[in-house]
Amino acid sequence: MIPHARDGLRWWRATKWAWAVGALLAWQLASLLWSDGGGWWMLLDAAGVLAVVTALGLVAGRPDWRRALIPVMVWVALFSALLALVVFYLLHGRSLGGERLRLPWIHGDGLNAVLTGLLCAAGAVAALGEGARGRDRFDRVVCLAAAGCCVFAVLATRSRGALLALLAGAIVLAWFERRRLVAGLLAAGCAAGVYFVILFSGGGEAAALLERGAAGRMDIYLWFLGRMGGMEWIAGAGAGTAAVIAEDQLGWFVEHPHSAYLTQLYLTGGIGLALLLVVLGGAAWRGLREAAPADAVWLALLATGAMGVLFDTSLIFSLLTTPRLEPVLVLLPAVMALHAQPSK
């Protein structure tokens, strides 16, 4: 335990990016001074984030460990997407055009469609990236299957935010991998083709896809922005403040602002949002500085996560806020992208 703690301290001293994370967490804690909520649990939350970031930093410092994570993510993505599609639609007798895909084994009635889509988008990007550098034919076939299943699942969630997140990650991969990505993109295109053939063969059910509105997000965003004024634009309402909307305001209960960036702005103001952008931008810049990083997939996953949390989730640097997927979508790829190495 002690040697690992010493390694963690050395990582913090040697990593400038980690100090930006520390500054963000310190500002979130300082905002408790003017918050109407929060408490001692916020200290535990910050300590938990520090522990997670440190552990990820130690793993990222080992190239073999860092790269071994991607195949694991691909296998998890393949089985999760395939099992979710089978259970949600076939076993429960639902139609593809009738209901949006949800991971059926979470929260009783399933994880909401947007978060399901974001997780599947991350899985698709991981599969595309690993498939571009597969060591043998079996690896490439598994990655192509995972990419196809995850793209199909993203489309089945009918989440435009997840589609944009997937597109952001694919663009980053295309920038680095170019022709190596062709097979993966063809697999993704075939999966999309199969999805639309099945969907539109259902006749009127396809109208649900074409007629979807913004799911009330603009109303939510405008409500939170309308509650800010004066110093709140600079310092926010304070971490721990209830970032919820009562049912009598919009007609339904909103349990979080549905945007990590809006949540950061609402709770910690422009200062907190600026610190968050510095943290994410620093990780991205470190990955981009390499001419052709062999693990560019982490940079692509960071792009996927950073785009995805624009449309859902809550505070990124917190383990206790709804929906608690931010460490997987953003923290993990951000720390790994810091240690990207050039291709040989």
Distance CA 250, CA 254 (A): 9
Name residue, tokens 């998890």: 76
The token pair at 252 is 């339904």
Residue 3 — very low, low, confident or very high, per pLDDT cuts 50/70/90? low
Most confident of 194-198, 207-211, 246-250: 194-198
- What's the pLDDT tens digit per position in 225-247? 988 888 889 998 888 888 888 87
Which of these ranges, 14-18, 134-138, 211-215, has the smallest mean pLDDT?
211-215
Residue 75 has pLDDT above 90, yes or no: yes
Query: What percent of the chain shows pLDDT beyond 90?
Result: 34
- What's the pLDDT tens digit per position in 8-31? 777 777 677 888 998 999 999 998
For residue 37, what pLDDT is reported? Answer: 74
Residue 299 — very low, low, confident or very high, per pLDDT cuts 50/70/90? very high
Cβ-count burial 108-138 (b if 16+ within 10 Å, e if not) = eebbbbbbbbbbbbbbbbbbbbbbbbbeeee
For residue 126, what pLDDT is reported? Answer: 94
Distance CA 100, CA 113 (A): 6
Residue 273 has pLDDT above 90, yes or no: yes
Residue 323 has pLDDT above 80, yes or no: no
What global pTM score does this model have? Answer: 0.90
Q: What is the mean pLDDT of residues 317-344?
A: 79
The token pair at 139 is 């690896």
Cβ-count burial 143-156 (b if 16+ within 10 Å, e if not) = bbbbbbbbbbbbbb
Residue 35 has pLDDT above 60, yes or no: yes
Q: What is the mean pLDDT of residues 159-163?
A: 91
For residue 212, what pLDDT is reported? Answer: 55
DSSP-derived 3-state class of residue 68: helix
For residue 171, what pLDDT is reported? Answer: 94
For residue 344, what pLDDT is reported? Answer: 46
Distance CA 249, CA 263 (A): 18
For residue 38, what pLDDT is reported? Answer: 67
Query: What percent of the chain shows pLDDT beyond 70?
Result: 89
For residue 257, what pLDDT is reported? Answer: 85
Task: Output the average pLDDT for the chain.
Answer: 84
Distance CA 97, CA 197 (A): 11
Residue 209 has pLDDT above 90, yes or no: no
- Domain segments of the chain as ranges: 13-60+215-344, 63-201
Distance CA 332, CA 21 (A): 13
- What's the pLDDT tens digit per position in 164-201? 999 999 999 998 888 888 989 999 999 999 998 888 88
Residue 216 has pLDDT above 60, yes or no: yes
